[in-house]
A = this chain, B = another copy of it.
Amino acid sequence: MTADPDAGAATRGPAANAELALLLEVAGTPKPGNVDRRRDFTDLRFDHFLAGAVGARPGLERAAAGAPVGEAFELAVEGMSEQSGGNTQFGCLLLLVPLVRAAAAGDLTRERARAVCAGTTVDDAAGFYRAFERVDVSVADPPADAEELDVRRGADAVPALRERGLTLADVMARSADGDAPDANAREWRDGFPRSFRAAEGVLADDGPASDRAARAFLDLLGEAEDTLVRVEHGPEVAAAVRDRAAEVEDLEAAEAWAEELVDRGINPGTTADLTAAALFVALERGLSV
């Protein structure tokens, strides 16, 4: 929903919708391989995701107020990390922060989202790198010629960023290409095609928002390999998970598979990120809860 000047201060704005998207995403069940309303991992539990979403809100508010993307993202990740479970929503926030900034500027469109990403600076890239110091994030190894830009170096990589004049959009474009393309980076590069398409599916769906979230997750998982699964388990497992997801008929059929993926330690995390982004777009476009 866009801001209605007559609706009063309490109307849910983009930052609140983004936080709600994080909560509905983790509430959606079953989301095979992920923490959800019915499943905890041993050290990463539903409670951690609740605290992560609450903690991210100031950074999301900063984005809604028009702050630079890197600054808002770093603050959101800092707040998200104030819980003991580790990384809960880093990837979600990487998608949500530019989307929140775009939504705060007017009706949320792919064009506005693309413009926010295209307008990022080297400072934004530095904020993104600093955010990696807040929490352990699973990422692919960089190419041999790009070790000095490995995100795991955190702030130590900032001089190299500045020397090369790389904006956050440039950093994302590098991760979107190559042998191991990152699904979130592709959203950044291409104007969030999967997030917006999945949002249309959420809006066209029926039933409670968190059930729609679970179905959107399955649809997204069936349409492309999950980046985190590929990083952690290799391309063959990622392809097999994608193919299996494409065959799942409904949430009931996904239940048994959900247990299996948790048991095997297979966690389609990037698909959860996309699901949160799709929920946010849907909330901005009128999804009611």
Produce 1/0 per residue, A17-31, CB < 8 A to B: 001100110010000
* Residue A79 lies at the interface, judged by CB distance under 8 Å to chain B: yes
Q: Which of A38, A46, A209, A289 has the most CB of B within 10 A?
A: A289
Assuming the contacts A10-B59, A59-B10, asked whether A50 and B79 have C-beta atoms less than 8 A apart, the reply is no
Complex Cα distance A38/B75, Å? 32
Of B40, B45, B55, which is within 8 A of A10 by CB? Answer: B55
Contact status B84-A288, CB under 8 Å = yes
Q: Which residues of B contact A89 (CB under 8 A)?
A: none
Q: Which residues of B contact A20 (CB under 8 A)?
A: 50-51, 54
Contact status B8-A78, CB under 8 Å = yes
Q: Which residues of B contact A54 (CB under 8 A)?
A: 12, 16, 19-20, 23
Complex Cα distance A24/B48, Å? 10
Q: Which residues of B contact A38 (CB under 8 A)?
A: 37-38
Complex Cα distance A9/B46, Å? 25
Produce 1/0 per residue, A66-108, CB < 8 A to B: 0000000001001100111000000000000000000000000
Complex Cα distance A16/B56, Å? 10
* Residue A210 lies at the interface, judged by CB distance under 8 Å to chain B: yes
Contact status B24-A50, CB under 8 Å = yes
Contact status A12-B55, CB under 8 Å = yes
For the complex formed by this chain, how many copies does it contain in all? Answer: 2
Q: Which residues of B contact A189 (CB under 8 A)?
A: none
Q: How many interface residues does A have (CB within 8 Å)?
A: 37
Q: Which residues of B contact A45 (CB under 8 A)?
A: 208
Q: Which residues of B contact A12 (CB under 8 A)?
A: 51, 54-55, 79, 82
Contact status B47-A289, CB under 8 Å = yes
* Residue A201 lies at the interface, judged by CB distance under 8 Å to chain B: no
* Residue A11 lies at the interface, judged by CB distance under 8 Å to chain B: yes
Contact status A51-B289, CB under 8 Å = yes
Q: Which residues of B contact A11 (CB under 8 A)?
A: 82
Contact status A209-B58, CB under 8 Å = no
* Residue A215 lies at the interface, judged by CB distance under 8 Å to chain B: no
Of B19, B58, B83, B210, which is within 8 A of A289 by CB? Answer: B83
* Residue A130 lies at the interface, judged by CB distance under 8 Å to chain B: no
Complex Cα distance A251/B51, Å? 23
Assuming the contacts A16-B57, A55-B16, A83-B289, asked whether A210 and B47 have C-beta atoms less than 8 A apart, the reply is yes
Complex Cα distance A54/B50, Å? 11
Q: Which residues of B contact A209 (CB under 8 A)?
A: 47
Q: What are 7 sample pairs from A and B whose C-beta atoms fall under 8 A apart?
A: A10-B79, A10-B82, A11-B82, A12-B51, A27-B50, A46-B210, A47-B210
- Chain A residues within 8 Å of B, Cβ to Cβ: 8-12, 16, 19-20, 23-24, 27, 37-38, 40, 45-48, 50-51, 53-55, 57-59, 75, 78-79, 82-84, 208-210, 288-289
